[in-house]
Copies of this chain bind each other. A is one copy, B any other.
Amino acid sequence: MPPRTYHHPDAEEIAIPRVLFALSEPLRLNMVRKLAAQGETDSIDLGPDLPRSTLTHHTSLLRESGVVFVRAEGRKCMIKLRDEDLEARFPGLLGTVLTGYESADVDGEEAGA
């Protein structure tokens, strides 16, 4: 049985509306924030308190929108940001969003990430 594989859009296929939508969800934005701070991360660390199926849902959405790259590692699931692809396609976007997010009213949340 082949290990789990995941489909990822090519860099050129990444579309701004989908990326913005993916980042517009607080839960997912928090996941992206962690990924930016920690680099490649075990999926479960992105939402330890979430039901697994919910976590898969959001991870898949981030993957299909081109925001993250997902890779199976044993039983686990490693996630990393597609920094370079996003930077090539939408220069500055990710940094701007994360910077703006930091300066806002975040950090008080534990319920999602």
A residues adjacent to B (C-beta < 8 A): 15-18, 20-21, 23-26, 29, 89-93, 96-97, 99-101, 103-105
Copies of the polypeptide in the assembly: 2
> What residues on B are CB-neighbors of A17 within 8 Å?
23-26, 29
- Besides A24-B24, A93-B97, 10 more A-B contacts (Cβ < 8 Å) are A15-B104, A16-B100, A17-B23, A17-B25, A18-B24, A89-B100, A89-B103, A90-B100, A92-B92, A93-B100
> What residues on B are CB-neighbors of A20 within 8 Å?
20-21, 23-24, 29, 97
Distance (whole angstroms) from the CB of A103 to the closest CB of chain B: 8
Contact A97 B16 (CB under 8 A): yes
